[in-house]
Amino acid sequence: MAGAVDFDLYRPAEEHELLRDSVRALAEAKIAPHAADVDERARFPQEALDALVGNDLHAVHVPEAFGGAGADALATVIVIEEVARVCASASLIPAVNKLGSLPLMLSGSPELQERYLTPLAAGRAMFSYCLSEPDAGSDAGGMKTRAVRDGDDYVLNGVKRWITNAGVSDYYTVMAVTDPEKRTRGGISAFVVEKDDAGVSFGAPEKKLGIKGSPTREVYLDNVRVPADRMIGAEGTGFATAMRTLDHTRITIAAQALGIAQGALDYAQGYVRERKQFGKPVGDFQGVQFMLADMAMKLAAARQLTYAAAARSQREDADLTFYGAAAKCFASDAAMEITTDAVQLLGGYGFTRDYPVERMMRDAKITQIYEGTNQIQRIVMARNLP
């Protein structure tokens, strides 16, 4: 047989399964009891943050050199997956902490990494990522936020939109135009902006379909003066850093989708065993069994693709761009289908807020949209066919 196949690539190691068990137990005990209230009141899941920080699970990706757990990409996926299984809003704490801080890990100076990754690892701060703007969503290169050099500083002006955990996070990785002529070809730079910097303010929380416990707000930059040493990497490298970041973090969105779908499947399975119609459990009917089989099949396929992508992220393989986009796209599409079927299996009860599957269906929808819509993911895949 030509070429060796690493079958362990698709099988988590024992320590990964132990991690899953511990995160699941924590999530069920400390996060799940508050999930419905978090959604109903659209409030930040503080109980989840406290539980994650208390168990060093809020930013497991941070290297040990900065006080973090130094978890590999698959371990990070498992943490996000297991938290999302009970509360999608809470899963955005570890996911967005990685999204916001990964540019520093990829391109930041050692001094910048030490300054910002250390408090993140210690649970004293959270990180958000500011790429999108009112007129620059899928076309991220169309951003208008400007950063103008002024002595030893840069002065930032602009508006960032759809920023997850805005107002709660202490630090923000902000992409801004430093050379309007070059744009994506060397004209965009990345900076760390602090919540308390003069000129930083936030819009009202968006009123969303799902993930209501994770605040999504605009970030306003009004003559925000940032020291030049807070630039991430060299001037003009910001867009490349942003795209490299997404190659890795789209896998965390796939992980979130896996968790939401698993939670819906688990609940639906339990329900159809107990619910009786025509004198027997609903789960005894072949039509229901086929639905469950399809749901489980889609979830298993999505998980294998996501874990394979995580392995590529860890190694920084050349085909990571394709696999990151594929995992995000496939897993989120599967999550939408699985959660919709879960609602169907519960019938009228599934359509009420007394049961969690309608929340899971609403939460699943965003995984098809953020960090690049699934239409954009298909463009990315087509341009990077392995």
Note the pLDDT of residue 311: 94
The rounded distance, in Å, linking the Cα atoms of 217 and 58 is: 21
- The string over 179-195, giving b where at least 16 C-beta atoms fall within 10 Å of a residue's C-beta and e elsewhere, is eeeeebebbbbbbbbbb
Number of Cβ within a 10 Å radius of residue 131? 27
Per the CB < 8 A criterion, the answer to whether 273 and 285 are in contact is: no
Tally helices (H) and strands (E) across the chain: 11, 10
The rounded distance, in Å, linking the Cα atoms of 165 and 148 is: 27
For domain 127-236, the question of CATH label 2.40.110.10 is answered with yes
Q: Which long-range contacts (CB under 8 A, 24 or more apart) does 300-305 make?
A: 301/330, 301/334, 302/254, 302/257, 302/258, 302/261, 302/327, 302/330, 302/331, 302/334, 302/335, 303/258, 303/331, 304/10, 305/254, 305/330, 305/331
CATH topology for the 7-122 domain:
Butyryl-Coa Dehydrogenase, subunit A; domain 1 (1.10.540)
Indicate the DSSP class of residue 31.
Answer: I
Per the CB < 8 A criterion, the answer to whether 226 and 195 are in contact is: no
Indicate the DSSP class of residue 220.
Answer: E
Phi and psi torsions of 352, nearest 5°: -110, 160
CATH topology for the 240-383 domain:
Butyryl-CoA Dehydrogenase, subunit A; domain 3 (1.20.140)
CA angle 41, 46, 51 (to 5 degrees): 135
CA angle 45, 68, 104 (to 5 degrees): 90
Selection from 273, 326, 260 nearest residue 27 by Cα: 260
The rounded distance, in Å, linking the Cα atoms of 14 and 265 is: 24
Identify the active-site residue in 81, 133, 218, 371: 371
Write the CA distances from 186 to 63, 134, 241, integer angstroms: 29, 22, 11
- Distant-in-sequence, close-in-space partners of 383: CB < 8 Å, separation ≥ 6: none
Give just the sign of the alpha carbon dihedral 105, 108, 111, 112.
negative
Token representation of residue 42: 């659209």
Whether 358 is a known active-site residue: answer: no
Write the CA distances from 134 to 10, 161, 201, 221, 243, integer angstroms: 40, 6, 16, 14, 19
What DSSP line would sit under 266-284, residue for residue?
HHHHHHHHH-EETTEEGGG
Q: Which residue has the tokens 């990070």?
A: 76
pLDDT digit string (tens) for the chain, length 386 residues: 344 445 445 578 899 999 999 999 999 999 999 999 999 999 999 999 999 999 999 999 999 999 999 999 999 999 999 999 999 999 999 999 999 999 999 999 999 999 999 999 999 999 999 999 999 999 999 999 999 999 999 999 999 999 999 999 999 999 999 999 998 999 999 999 999 999 999 999 999 999 999 999 999 999 999 999 999 999 999 999 999 999 999 999 999 999 999 999 999 999 999 999 999 999 999 999 999 999 999 999 999 999 999 999 999 999 999 999 999 999 999 999 999 999 999 999 999 999 999 999 999 999 999 999 999 999 999 999 98
pTM confidence score:
0.96
Note the pLDDT of residue 303: 97
State which H helix or E strand residue 147 sits in: strand 146-150
Note the pLDDT of residue 280: 96
One-letter identity of residue 264:
A
User: Domain coordinates of the chain in residue numbers?
Assistant: 7-122, 127-236, 240-383
